[in-house]
Structure 1
């Protein structure tokens, strides 16, 4: 499943073009900053994505089931982070609403959806915090961070079938806004039944895990 890291509005440094055509720029990710999960992204992490000229999708709140609300036209790294230029499609059914929200600073920020290739991160075994040096960037969303339990539960339920490992379950709960300690506690409780297992779970064990997760929602 895709992992996500949020960059709050105050760190995005969003700037909107004055022509009103939906163009804006800002930082989708900031380097050498410990995020709410304890993870840190290093300079150069997006270099391969940029070199390959792969353009990530632009979603609202990581909703990949809907048509992208616009396009990311430019991606570059500087000393601060991943600087992006995007254009919202004002003909999209949600385009004018999202653009107006950006103008009013009513959205909470940008958030990257990514995978970490082999060898792309070092993890502290005690804290679970990661130093991320390489990212396979799939999408960048304009987001509202969930502020209430119903919104967080909706996020978990909509992504629950993507869980394949206990680590996936922890990441999903953290993406939904639960604290590191809450996510780790839940996963440790569910994981007691699988203490002897390592790595990827088979279909039967994955189903048992998702069934357990539903009991808590």
Structure 2
């Protein structure tokens, strides 16, 4: 079995451990091994898994001698690459540690374990040392620490803090400004921008909740202006 790593970019992680994104991407520049995965490379393997009622394993660091840290529930190819969605086992100590690392954005990569099918690879006629991968048998998709290719990403993982934020707004009990600022920073908003949005726009919005529609519109406008002041000017 061969392995191939891809970059992992976390947005949020759900309390239930749900994660989704791309285990591999198609085309682009060769990865650190000199390989390029072509569209359709996983089609035959995914079809076989579906026929057999199986799914590639979810492992940590390709540790096939340990039980999987969760399950991949869905996999498919789209124009970008191999899209995957699964659930980490939070009652497993290793799964819980991986979940925590994802929440803290400490985890750096995703990696596939595969075999090249007969006739599934050929050299790029235009670039020496580059191999085009056309047909791969997919065994597992691991979460790993170090990526080799920076294009595959986890694009969506449900955030329990954002869920709580929305619920408290609906219940008329908005979060304190500092907590909202923390959520913005966890989502990747720069510190100065998060402070400005939370302390100006959001603070005014929650103060205006009981002051009528015009006050709400003014607060929303202030929130947009606070965010716009930090965006690049063209």
Root mean square deviation, CA, Å: 1.9
Give distance in 1, aligned partners of 2:124 and 2:143: 30
Q: Does the alignment pair 1:6 with 2:5?
A: yes
Q: Does the alignment pair 1:82 with 2:47?
A: no
Q: Deviations over 1:184-208 (max 9, x none)?
A: xxxxxxxxxxxxxxxxxxxxxxxxx
The aligned counterpart of 1:207 is none
SS in 1 for 2:93: coil
The aligned counterpart of 2:94 is 94
Q: Deviations over 1:20-40 (max 9, x none)?
A: 101110100010032111100
5+ residue gaps, structure 2, are 148-234
Give distance in 2, aligned partners of 1:15 and 1:28: 16
Deviation at 1:129, TM superposition (A): 2.4
State the structure with more CA Rg.
Answer: 2
Deviation at 1:105, TM superposition (A): 1.4
Give distance in 2, aligned partners of 1:57 and 1:113: 9
Give distance in 2, aligned partners of 1:7 and 1:95: 20
TM-score (norm 2): 0.56
Equivalent residue runs for 1:1-217 within 5 Å: 2-10=1-9, 14=10, 16=12, 18=14, 20-33=15-28, 34-52=30-48, 53=50, 54-123=54-123, 127-145=128-146
5+ residue gaps, structure 1, are 147-217
Deviation at 1:80, TM superposition (A): 0.8
Q: Is the 8 A contact 2:13 2:103 kept in 1?
A: no
Q: Which has the higher contact order (CA 8 A, sep 6+)?
A: 2
Deviation at 1:17, TM superposition (A): 5.4
Give distance in 2, aligned partners of 1:132 and 1:107: 27
